Amino acid sequence: MDRASAPRHGTRLAQSAIRLLYSATAGSLYDRVVVRGAFPLFGGHMPELVIEQGRAAAEDAGAMPVLDMPVGTGVFAAPTALLHNGLVAGVDIAGGMVTQARKTAEDSGAFNLSVVQADAHHLPFADDSFGAVVSSNGLQVIPDAETALRELVRVLAPGKRLYLSVVTLPVGAALSRGSSGRLPVVLSSSAGIVDALIDSGLSVASVKRERLALLAEAVKPVQPNPELGRLAVSPADEP
C-alpha cells in the first residue's frame, strides 16, 4: 500500500468499525446509555439544547428541506420533522441506526422524516439542497471530519445555517492554535472547532459550551468572504 492510499484505507476501516458498532447499539441501548445517560452527564442540558437547535432549523429552512446527519436513532430528528412543514432527510452510515430512525419516525408520526443510509463523505444530494443542516453529536466520531464537514456545507443553501453539536475533551485548549487544529474533533478546543467551521467556508454566528458539549451555529455566506465569522474564543470558554 502506498502512502497516498494509506489514509483512505484507514478511513474505510474506521467507517466499517463505526458502522458495525452503531448498528449493534441502535436499539434501546443507544438511547438509554448515550442519549439519556452520557449526554446529560457530559453535556448538561445538551439534549434540550439540541432539540432547540432542531426547532430553529425547522423555522430557518422555510419551505426547503432540512438535513439531519448523522440521524442516529432519530430521537432528535423526529421532533424537528414534527415542527417542519417540509421534508426532513436523515442520513446515517449505520444500517441499524437507519432502521431504528425509521421506526422512531413512524412511532412519533413524523411521516415527513425520510431516512437513508449513506456515507457522510459522499452525500447523495445536489449542491445547495437544504434550508438548514443539523449535525448532532456525530462529527467527533466521523473519520476525516473535515471532508464530512465540507459535504454538509456543499449541500447547505447559501444564507442558511448549520446547527452543530459535539462532545469533546478539549485538550487542544492547552496547545497553540496551529497545533490544536491538527487534532481530531473529539480532542478539539472551541477555537479549533471554530477554525474548522471557518475553513469549510462558513461564517460562525454563535458558540456555546455546556460542560464537555459544544453547540455552534454557522451561516453559509451568499458570497464567500474570508474576513467573516472568526469569533474570538478564549480559554475561559472551555470547561
pLDDT one-digit tens code per residue, 75-89: 999 999 999 999 999
For the entire predicted model, the pTM comes to: 0.87
Closest C-alpha to 72, from 147, 160, 141: 141
Convert the pLDDT of each residue in 182-219 to its tens digit: 567 888 889 999 999 999 999 999 999 999 999 999 99
C-alpha cell at 118: 449513506
- pLDDT value for 226: 53
Rounded CA gap, 190 and 58, in Å?
26
Mean pLDDT (whole number) for 117-145:
96
* Total domains in the fold of the chain: 1
The CATH number of the domain holding residue 143 is 3.40.50.150
Range of the domain at 139: 5-237
Closest C-alpha to 75, from 137, 18, 157: 137
pLDDT band at 175 (very low <50, low <70, confident <90, very high): low
Convert the pLDDT of each residue in 119-132 to its tens digit: 999 999 999 999 99
Mean pLDDT (whole number) for 159-176:
84
Mean residue pLDDT across the chain: 88
